[in-house]
């Protein structure tokens, strides 16, 4: 342990000793205090009180300066109540100004008044979900200045909750410092009781914080700093969801420092709760190292190379859905669409219009990447917002994948039991894409999904999943017709609609009329496609 580490360790205790000595000193320094009382309290009372309150506020802003050790002396000079109120007002004013500064100018201004490295150390200890109750708890034992900067820069708590929690949370410490000398020497039992009650409240808050879930080491997720992309955002989001499910606390560390990453790799060899994502030039699934930038990459599936999202999903996807079929379905329908572009694999060809589609990559880069330059805390905050969005999207998309797997199974059962494999009739809507792999199937007749009037649909089966064109076409004369016009042309009572493309879908008012339309369609197709 070097001198810097030792200093950092003992500083809070030295500060506490200074406050205790200052409180004790007020019991013995009667003559100097009497002289100051004469000058400040009797001759310049309001001027002195205003200056003192302003100094309290300024000390909160210009951290880590502190005038807390002077509070017991001021209480002896001006009276406990006056100093209690002034100290509370000064701390509140400073805390509000700090919060406003951090939310308005962020890291660029905050660094002028507070150490960035100190803020990063505080971030490691803050709970990931900082709500009103947690902030109130922290206010009881963490210095006003330190916590104000940390909350303003590193949390999303609202201004109203911040002000209320701060206003209540700083009362005990302000009371103890202001009333301490009188409580210990004044002979007032109620004041002494209040003093120790608030002191125990502070110690109790400290115990609750450190002897609850926060005593357990945080899981560590390392990823690169600077600009981020969809693959590292979704990879980190997946790991956070896994850790959330197991109620584990975690910390995301964004860095490119080689020494830090080397130490992180060493940690992965002995801990299973340390992860390195999209950085480090190493893929080692057994030790949670998930990079794909190294020479040779990190493998591929179905022709799509793995990026960090795919590597994390490959190992931990089953922890989120408990079904290997869903893991595979989600990978093939969602994960690959994020992995491929990050590996410079094109998934589409532009038309002559030359317009790029809006993808998750563009959303992440254009909506969530706002901080520029060397604003590391701003970039970290942007990354956290993007991860939050990704977690919501993964959660919803997983439900779609679960449903898709169920539909695949139902489609197989329906196909196996169907007498006519060309024209599948089912009493439950499944979706035409689930029958693509069955080459015999050309049409599927089923109830409409969003219909409340008993309508049925006839869908052509595309050659490829999500393909636009079906394997058969409806009779040419039906294309684009509706209602009576369609019924007159087809001769089928209950025919309602045929899509104008001719090889997509049609709608009928009943099961019987839908089957008639399907049978006529196959007959028409056979007659017009004879070789």
Q: Is the model's pLDDT at 71 over the cut of 60?
A: yes
Structure confidence at residue 109 (pLDDT): 57
Q: Over 80: is that where the pLDDT of 151 sits?
A: yes
* pLDDT-derived band at 129, boundaries 50, 70, 90: low
- Does residue 477 register a pLDDT over 90? yes
Task: Fill in the DSSP letter of residue 217.
Answer: P
Give me the pLDDT at residue 207, please.
73
pLDDT cut 70: percent of the chain above it: 84
- Give the mean pLDDT of 425-432: 88
Q: Mean pLDDT, to the nearest integer, of 115-126?
A: 59
Most confident of 169-173, 335-339, 376-380: 335-339
8 Å CB contact between 202 and 173: yes
Q: Would you put residue 200 in left (φ > 0), alpha (ψ -120 to 50) or beta?
A: alpha
Q: Which ranges of 44-79 would DSSP assign to H, the alpha helix?
A: 45-61, 71-78
Close Cβ partners of 488 (under 8 Å, ≥ 6 residues apart): none
The H-assigned helical ranges of 247-289 are 258-270
List the single range of 177-191, 262-276, 277-291 with lowest mean pLDDT. Answer: 177-191
- What pLDDT does 235 receive? 96
Q: Are 292 and 216 in contact (CB under 8 A)?
A: no
**Average of per-residue pLDDT across 377-383:** 87
pLDDT the model gives residue 336: 94
Q: For residues 127 and 134, is the Cβ–Cβ distance under 8 A? A: yes
Residue with the two structure tokens 């001006």: 78
User: Can you tell me which residue has the tokens 């022709």?
Assistant: 303
For residues 166 and 377, which has the higher predicted lDDT (pLDDT)? 166
What local confidence, expressed as pLDDT, does residue 7 receive? 41
The Cβ of residue 123 has, within 10 Å, a number of other Cβ atoms equal to 18
Q: What is the pLDDT of residue 359?
A: 85
The answer on pLDDT for 102 being more than 60 is yes
DSSP annotation of 70 reads: G
What integer pLDDT is reported at residue 67 of this predicted model? 72
pLDDT of residue 196: 83
Residue 387's closest CA among 250, 220, 235? 235
Q: What is the pLDDT of residues 3-62, one digit of tens each?
A: 444 344 444 444 455 455 555 555 555 556 666 666 666 677 888 888 889 988 988 888
What pLDDT does 387 receive?
93
Cross-strand partners of 462: 470
Q: Give the N- to C-terminal CA distance of the chain in Å, as an integer.
A: 87
pTM for the model = 0.59
| 367 compared with 239, residue with greater pLDDT | 239
Q: How far, in Å, CA of 160 to CA of 118, rounded?
A: 26
Question: Is residue 229 scored above 60 in pLDDT?
Answer: yes
Residue 103 in contact with residue 95, Cβ under 8 Å? no
pLDDT at residue 73, rounded to an integer: 76
Return left, alpha or beta for 464; rule: phi > 0 is left, psi -120 to 50 is alpha, else beta: beta
d(CA 341, CA 320): 24
Model confidence at 466: pLDDT above 80? no
pLDDT over 90 at 389, yes or no: yes
pLDDT of residue 257: 92
Q: With a cut of 90, say whether residue 233 has pLDDT above it.
A: yes
Q: Which helix (H) or strand (E) holds 430?
A: none
Cα 340 to chain centroid, rounded: 23
Task: Pick 24 or 144 by higher pLDDT.
Answer: 144
Kindly state the average pLDDT of the residues 273-282.
94
- Of 423, 417, 459, 464, nearest to 441 by C-alpha is 423
The pLDDT value given to residue 6: 38
Residue 116 reports pLDDT greater than 80: no
Does residue 496 surpass a pLDDT of 90? Answer: yes
250 bridge partner residues:
219
Q: Residue 460 — pLDDT band, cuts 50, 70, 90?
A: very high
List of residues 6+ apart from 201 with CB closer than 8 A:
140, 172
Residue 446 backbone phi and psi in degrees, to 5: -155, 165
Q: Is the pLDDT of residue 113 over 90?
A: no
- Among the listed ranges 159-168, 365-374, 447-456, which one has the minimum average pLDDT value? 447-456
Strand pairing category for 274-277 and 289-290: parallel
Closest by Cα among 62, 254, 54, 251 to 146: 62
pLDDT 10s digits, 203-225: 777 777 666 655 567 899 999 99
Q: Is residue 240 over pLDDT 70?
A: yes
pLDDT band at 124 (very low <50, low <70, confident <90, very high): low
Distance CA 334, CA 457 (A): 28
Task: Check if the beta carbon of residue 461 is closer than 8 Å to that of residue 470.
Answer: yes
Average pLDDT over residues 467-476: 89
Q: Which residues, including other chains, have CB under 8 Å from residue 280's CB and lie 6 or more apart?
A: 222, 261, 264, 265, 289, 291
Q: What is the DSSP letter of 416?
A: H
Rounded to whole angstroms, the Cα distance separating 320 from 120 reads 30
Q: What pLDDT score was predicted for residue 138?
A: 82
Taking a C-beta distance cutoff of 8 angstroms, is the pair 419, 410 a contact?
no
Distance separating alpha carbons of residues 512 and 515, to the nearest angstrom:
5
pLDDT of residue 30: 59
Query: What average pLDDT is seen over the chain?
Result: 83
């Amino acid at each position: 342990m070097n001198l810097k580490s030792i200093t950092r360790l003992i500083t809070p205790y030295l500060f506490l000793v200074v406050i205790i000595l200052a409180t004790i000193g007020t019991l013995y320094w009667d003559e100097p205090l009497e002289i100051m009382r004469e000058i400040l309290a009797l001759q310049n009372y309001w001027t002195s009180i205003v200056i003192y309150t302003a100094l309290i506020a300024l000390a909160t802003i210009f951290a880590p300066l502190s005038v807390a050790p002077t509070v017991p002396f001021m209480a002896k000079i001006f009276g406990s109540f006056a100093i209690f109120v002034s100290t509370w007002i000064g701390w509140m004013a400073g805390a509000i100004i700090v919060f406003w500064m951090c939310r308005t100018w962020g890291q660029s201004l905050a660094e002028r008044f507070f150490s960035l490295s100190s803020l990063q150390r505080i971030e490691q200890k803050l709970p990931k979900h900082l709500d009103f109750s947690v902030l109130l708890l922290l206010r009881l034992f963490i210095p006003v200045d330190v916590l104000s900067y940390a909350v303003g820069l590193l949390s999303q708590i609202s201004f109203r909750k911040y002000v209320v929690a701060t206003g209540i949370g700083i009362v005990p410490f302000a009371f103890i410092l202001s009333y301490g000398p009188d409580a210990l020497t004044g002979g007032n039992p109620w004041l002494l009781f209040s003093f120790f009650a608030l002191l125990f409240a502070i110690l109790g808050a400290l115990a609750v914080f450190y002897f609850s879930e926060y005593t357990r080491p945080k899981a560590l997720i390392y990823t690169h700093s600077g600009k981020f992309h969809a693959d590292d955002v979704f990879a980190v989001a997946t790991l956070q969801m896994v850790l959330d499910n197991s109620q584990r606390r975690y910390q995301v560390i964004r860095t490119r420092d080689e020494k830090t990453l080397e130490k992180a790799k060493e940690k992965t060899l002995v801990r299973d709760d340390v992860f390195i994502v999209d950085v480090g030039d190493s893929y080692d699934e057994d030790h949670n190292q998930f990079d794909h930038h190294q020479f040779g990459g990190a493998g591929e599936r179905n022709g799509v190379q793995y990026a960090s999202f795919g590597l994390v999903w490959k190992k931990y996807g089953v922890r989120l859905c408990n079904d290997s079929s869903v893991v595979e379905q989600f990978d093939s329908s969602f994960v690959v669409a994020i992995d491929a572009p990050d590996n410079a694999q094109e998934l589409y060809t532009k038309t002559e219009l030359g317009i790029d589609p809006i993808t998750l990559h563009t959303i992440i880069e254009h909506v969530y990447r706002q901080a520029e330059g060397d604003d590391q805390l701003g970039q970290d905050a942007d990354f956290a917002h993007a991860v939050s969005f990704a977690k919501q999207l993964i959660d919803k998309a997983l439900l779609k994948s679960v449903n898709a797997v169920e539909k695949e199974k139902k489609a197989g059962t329906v196909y196996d039991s169907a007498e006519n494999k060309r024209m599948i009739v089912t009493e439950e809507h499944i979706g035409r894409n689930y029958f693509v792999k069955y080459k015999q199937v050309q049409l599927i007749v089923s109830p409409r999904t969003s219909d409340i009037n008993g309508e049925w649909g006839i869908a052509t089966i595309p050659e490829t999943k999500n393909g636009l064109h079906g394997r058969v076409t409806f009779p040419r004369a039906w294309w684009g017709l509706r209602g009576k016009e369609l019924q007159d042309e087809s001769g089928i009572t209950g025919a309602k609609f045929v899509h104008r493309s001719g090889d997509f879908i049609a709608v009928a008012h009943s099961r019987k009329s839908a089957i008639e339309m399907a049978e006529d369609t196959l007959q028409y197709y056979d007659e017009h496609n004879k070789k």
